[in-house]
Chains A and B, each alone.
Chain A
């Protein structure tokens, strides 16, 4: 019996039952842009960066089970245009001033912007004013960079068993909150050893006192574009991700 496979941009990609399009592509070393997806967590499907065209319909690759013979478009000008627009909207909605961000060079949002050749944010900037939370002894929270991927929410709830983070509000008012009466991270049992501290794809959750230990220009995505790091992304684990902030 031949193994089940999907046709990804014309290339046959094998999969096993239960794998999503994203799982199958990643296992085959093919990059599908994504922000809220992480192999250690259940798919969330909120960022829509991984939108592909499967049998003619737009679906989230992180959520859609692979089916035998499914024809999937991924790396096409049309899809990449739409992904670039999503990135531009994320850039203007928050404050993503890369030169002042310690995550620059290790940031997935920025790396995807490079990958998809996003040259400018195109839309008018929101310039949000969300006060930072520097109350915790080990960790700084800059909410102005939050893209609402809920990775920290999922990690804290599902892995750490602490539920330190949550999203609150609806629509454009949606924002990240901290589970303490004061709203301050210092008044939770959060620690840098938590999985939730390691998973932020952007520069919201940052470790204090290690800033710029690795200089700009020598960081993860400075060295190699994100699209070339599929294997590394597939093997992401708590230990490895700690390298981001160090």
Chain B
């Protein structure tokens, strides 16, 4: 289970705004879309936090942050690098969504041979014409298996769901910002 971590509430920290970062690894960005589903509550959120690295700000590397939200599992070498950097800059790391928590959809390839997967997709699939397996040195190397992020770094909290609802994300974040232990009851706690 996640280790209990508390974020200093803004009042305790002398009204310093907290810094929040978000990132996506091997996911579908569905959790980020769900994050945007907090809709106009985003205005209330930016009253209390500044965004650091996030697809919302287009900042590519994280500075020191209080809270990091990360979606997606680990499917290639770049994911490992990004996750480690992200973890080292975030006081509290929250795994969001099925892929970050248990590998999710990408991990459904784990019982297949990676080489055979690549061959099937890029060479032997019926609609492939003169295909080739991508081999550009700039492409990160895929890992043999897809892993949940807790196998690589320490994770403080998780928000399950595929994706979790905007309401669940809002409940979780406001609990955390207000200094309460975040808790998702029925019907916000769901895995699908």
Contact = CB atoms under 8 A, between A and B. Distances in A.
Interface stretch (A63-71, A109-117, A184-192): A109-117
B102 A114 contact: no
A105 interface: yes
Given A117-B183, A120-B1, A127-B111, A99 B192 contact: yes
Given A97-B107, A100-B108, A128-B111, A121 B101 contact: yes
Contact of B160 (A104, A105, A119, A128): A119
Contacts of A95: 108
Contact of A124 (B1, B151, B162, B185): B151
A99 B103 CA distance: 12
Chain B binding surface, main DSSP class: loop
Contact of B189 (A117, A122, A129): A117
Contact of A98 (B1, B107, B162): B162
A120 B160 contact: yes
B28 to A, nearest CB: 11
Interface in B167-190: 183-187, 189-190
B98 A119 contact: no
B80 interface: no
A127 B145 contact: yes
7 contacts: A99-B98, A104-B192, A105-B192, A120-B102, A125-B110, A127-B103, A127-B110
Interface of B: 1-2, 95, 98, 101-105, 107-108, 110-111, 145, 148, 150-151, 155, 158-160, 162, 183-187, 189-192
